[in-house]
Amino acid sequence: MVMKERGVSKTKVQELFVLDGGSIELDKSSLTFGHNQGVRIRVPIPIYLIKTEEGYILYDTGWSPDLVPLLGALGYNPQISEDQVLPKCLEKVGVSAKDIKKVIISHLHVDHAGGLAFFPNAEIIVQKDEYSYAFRPHSFGALAYNLADFNHPSFNWNIIDGDKVIMPGLSVVLANGHTPGTQALVIDLPETGVFIICSDCCYTSQNLTEEVIPGIVWNPVLALHSIKKLKTLGELLGGQVLPNHDIDFWNNSLKKSPESYK
């Protein structure tokens, strides 16, 4: 993933912004299988903006603003302001929705695909198994998908199957188990180095350090194998592995926009 020649990085990635998509409350057991049932914690919703030589790319899109009232009614205590809806998040770093060339979707759950409608002309990269499953999920997984988020015939889908290099310095890696087609993102930044963004393969640092699978999974065995896979990638590449919904990690270990990683 990290390609060097005469000391010069070949990555086409230039900058990474971590956007704040708001937060909700969940039971801790939803994040770490079999742990701390009945303990409520706040869960951040990160969205990642990548500046590259070929234009801007998003990794995930957060919630649809239309669903925020429903989240409140269901007891998830959402803290998602108008400024945390994706177009407003982009404006804070001088980017508009029309500037986004590609959207990489980790998976099509409501907190990751809810902003797709803001990017009708972008190429949307999703795993084949995720795309198929999202339209007809099992009964135990159906509530996590909102058909209105992604059932748009005009969308420009790029449906891939497995690991894929998007461009030098930017790759997706199949990390399924949470859903059939969850994909992580591997980024090689010119100064910071390699980040492996886990999405919901690893909600929290505990999922990584103790190899505890998430509490919401489609296939628990694959979920465990994917945690091990991303940890191994981190060691091989000398990269930092980022959990996706860890409030302590969010508060203490991430630079948020308008700051960036270069």
Looking at the predicted structure, is the pLDDT value of residue 87 above 50? yes
CATH of 10-253, one of 3.30.70.1730, 3.40.109.10, 3.60.15.10, 3.40.50.300: 3.60.15.10
4-18, 53-67, 109-123, 206-220: lowest mean pLDDT where? Answer: 4-18
Which candidate, 174, 176, 183, places its Cα nearest to that of 217?
Answer: 176
Looking at the predicted structure, is the pLDDT value of residue 7 above 90? no
Q: Please name the residues in contact with 5: beta carbons below 8 A apart, sequence gap of 6 or more.
A: none
**Predicted local confidence at residue 9, as pLDDT:** 53
pTM for this predicted structure? 0.93
Q: Please name the residues in contact with 94: beta carbons below 8 A apart, sequence gap of 6 or more.
A: none
**Predicted local confidence at residue 24, as pLDDT:** 95
Are 93 and 49 a contacting pair, CB within 8 Å? yes
Angstrom distance (rounded) from CA 150 to CA 135: 9
Ramachandran angles phi, psi of 27, nearest 5°? -70, 140
Instruction: Give the model confidence (pLDDT) of 214-253 as tens digits.
Output: 999 999 999 999 999 999 999 999 999 999 999 999 999 9
Tell me what the pLDDT averaged over the chain comes to.
Answer: 93
Q: Which residue did the predictor score with more confidence, 94 or 6?
A: 94
Instruction: Give the model confidence (pLDDT) of 181-192 as tens digits.
Output: 999 999 999 999
**Predicted local confidence at residue 100, as pLDDT:** 98
Angstrom distance (rounded) from CA 4 to CA 72: 49
- Six-digit token string for 28: 């801790």
Q: Which residue has the tokens 């990017």?
A: 119
The residue ranges of every structural domain in the chain are: 10-253
Angstrom distance (rounded) from CA 47 to CA 51: 13
Q: How confident is the model at residue 2 (pLDDT cuts 50, 70, 90)?
A: very low
**Predicted local confidence at residue 1, as pLDDT:** 45
